[in-house]
């Protein structure tokens, strides 16, 4: 059993090496001698009764015990930093918030949170998918993100706090020349036999593809094959245009040049958007994000699903669990 009073200095040494995977760089980062850093890591290993790193002449890697310690060490040091800040008058550290993409619901929540807490720095990141972001949160490289939590592995979700934000109506992004582009809305039955892109093959957005697969199975819609992973709006537009398939999206997704966005109806399929952060993280920014989501949800009815909508029961249960 590890001692209850593990020295935070030893945890800082461990985290520096875990981040750098190089003892010399980690020592430079902490402004200590490499010998002292190695000694602290060995002391921590003895205290825990576990080997944390595999060291060879060529590389340093985390052992399974090291991977297991990583999120706990980050939470302990976060708490120490918050305790120090509470009595020093220093501002909270920046909160790193992944929005997945710009211009949608998550971006609006962040903008409102910045208005509510202007003295705190809430830094946006624009990655792709909660499957990827959740792992980054648990590793301490991100603080919060948005997406569909029901699609996450139970072991991952167990380390996250989840706060429902919005039932997002789904939409279809269509090439302007597509026959359905002239419609004001597209009925799901009209997509029977159609091939639609929903991120297949992108491991970062697996929770979105899994939700799409459930929807497509009910209406005989074909999942479009994987395309090369595109980074940035311009690359995404180029790759999708080349593939030529409609794209499953949400109603607030910013349309790309040469495309139109049409809501899906009969019934309205929903994408359950939640805010997630690492369990145990105490930061005024997460409170601001929850308050911002509450304000927008009340003003715009985000948490009132339309009558007769489509949503898997597992997602419904998670969205009802709001505290």
In a domain, 2, yes or no: no
How far is 289 from 110, CA to CA, in rounded Å? 6
How far is 79 from 74, CA to CA, in rounded Å? 9
**Do 148 and 286 sit in the same domain of this protein?**
yes
Closest CA to 225 of 239, 207, 211, 243: 243
The domain boundary residue, chosen from 63, 88, 113: 88
User: What CATH number did the domain enclosing 141 receive?
Assistant: 3.40.190.10
How far is 185 from 265, CA to CA, in rounded Å? 7
**Do 111 and 153 sit in the same domain of this protein?**
yes
How far is 214 from 210, CA to CA, in rounded Å? 7
Output phi, psi for 5, to 5 deg.
Answer: -110, 40
pTM for the structure as a whole: 0.72
**Do 156 and 293 sit in the same domain of this protein?**
yes
| Number of domains observed in the structure of the chain | 3
User: What CATH number did the domain enclosing 48 receive?
Assistant: 1.10.10.10
**Do 196 and 209 sit in the same domain of this protein?**
yes
**Do 279 and 138 sit in the same domain of this protein?**
yes
The domain boundary residue, chosen from 249, 265, 281: 265
**Do 21 and 65 sit in the same domain of this protein?**
yes
- Check residue 211 and give its pLDDT: 96
- Check residue 1 and give its pLDDT: 45
* Domain boundaries, position 201: 167-265
Q: Return all residues near 28 (Cβ < 8 A) that are at least 6 apart.
A: none
Helix, strand, or coil (residue 146): strand
Q: How many CA atoms are closer than 13 Å to the CA of 10, on its beta-carbon side?
A: 17
Closest CA to 138 of 83, 86, 73, 55: 73
Closest CA to 147 of 209, 235, 229, 231: 209
In a domain, 299, yes or no: yes
The tokens for 281 are 């993280």
| Predicted confidence (pLDDT) per residue in 127-150, tens digit | 778 999 999 998 888 999 999 999
Stretches where the chain sits below pLDDT 70 are: 1-5, 81-91, 102-103, 228, 230-234, 239, 322-323
How far is 260 from 308, CA to CA, in rounded Å? 25
Q: Are 277 and 137 in contact (CB under 8 A)?
A: yes
């Amino acid at each position: 059993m590890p001692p209850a009073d593990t020295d935070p200095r030893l945890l800082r040494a461990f985290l520096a090496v875990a981040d750098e995977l190089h003892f010399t760089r980690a020592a430079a980062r902490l402004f200590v001698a490499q010998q002292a850093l190695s000694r602290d890591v060995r002391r921590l290993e003895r205290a825990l009764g576990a080997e944390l790193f595999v060291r060879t002449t060529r590389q340093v890697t985390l052992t399974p015990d090291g991977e297991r310690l990583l999120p706990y060490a980050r939470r302990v040091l976060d708490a120490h930093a918050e305790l120090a800040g509470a009595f020093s008058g220093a501002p909270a550290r920046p909160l790193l918030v992944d929005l997945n993409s710009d211009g949608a619901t998550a971006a609006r929540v962040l903008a409102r949170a910045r208005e509510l807490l202007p003295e705190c720095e809430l830094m946006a990141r624009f990655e792709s998918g909660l499957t990827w972001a959740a792992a980054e949160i648990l590793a301490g490289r991100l603080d919060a993100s948005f997406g569909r939590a029901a699609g996450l592995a139970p072991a991952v979700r167990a380390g996250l706090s989840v706060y429902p934000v919005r039932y997002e109506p789904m939409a279809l992004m269509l090439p302007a020349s597509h026959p359905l582009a002239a419609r004001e809305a597209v009925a799901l039955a009209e997509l029977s036999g159609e091939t639609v892109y929903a991120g297949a093959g992108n491991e970062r957005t697996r929770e979105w593809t899994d939700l799409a697969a459930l929807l497509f199975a009910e209406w005989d819609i074909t999942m479009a094959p994987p395309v090369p992973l595109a980074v940035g709006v311009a690359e995404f537009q180029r790759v999708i245009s080349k593939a030529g398939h409609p794209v499953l999206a949400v109603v607030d997704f910013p349309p790309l040049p040469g495309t139109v966005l049409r809501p899906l109806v009969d019934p309205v399929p929903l994408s359950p958007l939640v805010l997630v952060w690492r369990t145990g993280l105490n930061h005024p920014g997460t409170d601001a994000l929850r308050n911002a989501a509450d304000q927008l949800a009340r003003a715009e009815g985000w948490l009132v699903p339309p009558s007769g909508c489509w949503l898997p029961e597992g997602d419904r249960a998670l969205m009802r669990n709001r505290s």
